Amino acid sequence: MFVSETKVLPDQKEMFQYRYSWVQLFRPLTLSGTISPVIAGTALAAATGSVRLDIFLVMLLASLFVQSSVNILNDYFDFKNGQDTEKWIMPSKDDSEKTGPKHQLLPYMALTCILIAIGMGAWLAYQSSPWIAVVGAIGIVAGYYYSAGSHSLSSIGLGEITAALFLGPVTTCLAYVVQGHSLNLSVLWVSITFAVLISAMILSNNIRDMKKDETFRCTLAQRLGRVRASYLLILMLTIIYLWVLGSILSGVLPVITAISFLAIPVAGKLVLSYRPGAKRVEEIEGMKIAAIHHWVFGLLFSFGMWASIWF
């Protein structure tokens, strides 16, 4: 029995199970939002001094646990608020279809991820600066309120800004500072690239979900309207590449980071997916393309930064 075929009462929701696995709840395609800025921030640290592999790995894992908790809570609260019901199924004895975790278990898994991240963050703060713990705590709180409550950050049109701040400057700068370096303008400048990159991915998701979100959220895409939101997406993607080009020409970034321009064809496919008049199936596929674009651009960009050190 699929959830979309029946009315789900509030007291029944905890009984439902996710139709897919725990792995899909973590949304691995979106985890580049954390991985790329951590790698890039560490590369910046390596360019000005030595870096510790153990600190890099703990920073990466802590960031992944925080983002994973946000992803899990997002699915939890979406279903709780009557959204994405097709992802959930009421198990029965006669149902041979394999089901994933129960809805009621999601907050506990998210809390486990957060506690692990807190432990790692405490170790990083001990190794570097107490401010790491303060910034990390703020990031966890922001991650929770991204989805939680009737006035969550994502529901009042602040999803793109929140993601831009915490998966742009915050993550990139933390990855740099935990290696024992002081914050500077170069790191902040580079972090803007990831801020716009993740914002484009969030905006893509919100354009795709405009109809679904009418009942609960008022996202930036809804405020702008379908056509203007698609134009903003084009502008964001353009800014990403112009920012890198300008950074190379001004000497902030090494020339080899231009290898990230190889992701332009993926960006082009993303634009086509959300063009005015695009079919629904294209919009659905577009979110996957947005995630792939983040992976391709982010990893190429980070590779370029490390390659400038190695070679």
pLDDT at position 7 over 80: no
* C-alpha pair distances (Å), 35 with each of 44, 197, 225, 248: 15, 13, 31, 22
Supply the pLDDT for residue 1: 38
Supply the pLDDT for residue 98: 62
Backbone angles phi, psi at 17, to 5 degrees: -120, 150
Residues whose CB is less than 8 angstroms from the CB of residue 234 and which lie 6 or more positions away in sequence, other chains included: 271
Provide the CA 309 distance to its chain's centre, in angstroms: 27
Handedness of CA 7, 13, 17, 21 (dihedral sign): positive
Domain count across the chain = 1
Residue 38: half-sphere exposure toward Cβ, Cα within 13 Å: 19
Query: Could you report the per-residue pLDDT of 153-194, keeping only the tens digit for each?
Result: 888 888 899 999 999 999 999 999 999 998 899 999 999 999
11 and 95 in contact (C-beta within 8 Å)?
no
Q: Degrees (nearest 5) of the Cα angle 252, 293, 189? A: 20
- Mean pLDDT throughout 276-301? 90
pLDDT at position 113 over 60: yes
Q: Degrees (nearest 5) of the Cα angle 310, 198, 31? A: 70
pLDDT at position 103 over 60: yes
As a whole number of angstroms, the distance between CA 293 and CA 297 comes to 6
As a whole number of angstroms, the distance between CA 24 and CA 12 comes to 23
As a whole number of angstroms, the distance between CA 49 and CA 186 comes to 15
Scanning the chain, the segments in alpha helix (DSSP H) are 22-25, 32-48, 53-80, 106-127, 131-147, 159-165, 171-177, 185-208, 210-213, 220-224, 226-249, 264-273, 280-310
Query: Could you report the per-residue pLDDT of 215-243, keeping only the tens digit for each?
Result: 777 888 889 998 999 999 999 999 999 99
Handedness of CA 293, 222, 195, 87 (dihedral sign): negative
Q: Which of 9-18, 103-112, 170-179, 217-226 is predicted with the least confidence, judged by mean pLDDT?
A: 9-18
As a whole number of angstroms, the distance between CA 200 and CA 218 comes to 17
pTM of the model: 0.88
33 and 60 in contact (C-beta within 8 Å)?
no
Residue 308 burial class via C-beta count within 10 angstroms: exposed 0-12, middle 13-18, buried 19 and up: middle
**Given the structure tokens 């600066």, which residue do they identify?**
129
Query: Could you report the per-residue pLDDT of 53-100, keeping only the tens digit for each?
Result: 999 999 999 999 999 999 999 888 888 877 777 777 877 655 555 667
Q: What is the largest CA-CA distance in the chain?
A: 66
Query: Could you report the per-residue pLDDT of 261-283, keeping only the tens digit for each?
Result: 999 999 999 999 988 888 888 88
Q: How confident is the model at residue 23 (pLDDT cuts 50, 70, 90)?
A: confident
**Given the structure tokens 């793109």, which residue do they identify?**
160
pLDDT at position 49 over 90: no
Mean pLDDT rounded to a whole number for the chain: 88
Select from 300, 303, 238, 302 the least CA-distant residue to 267. Answer: 238
49 and 184 in contact (C-beta within 8 Å)?
no
- The DSSP call for residue 20 is S
Domain extent, residue 98, equals 3-310
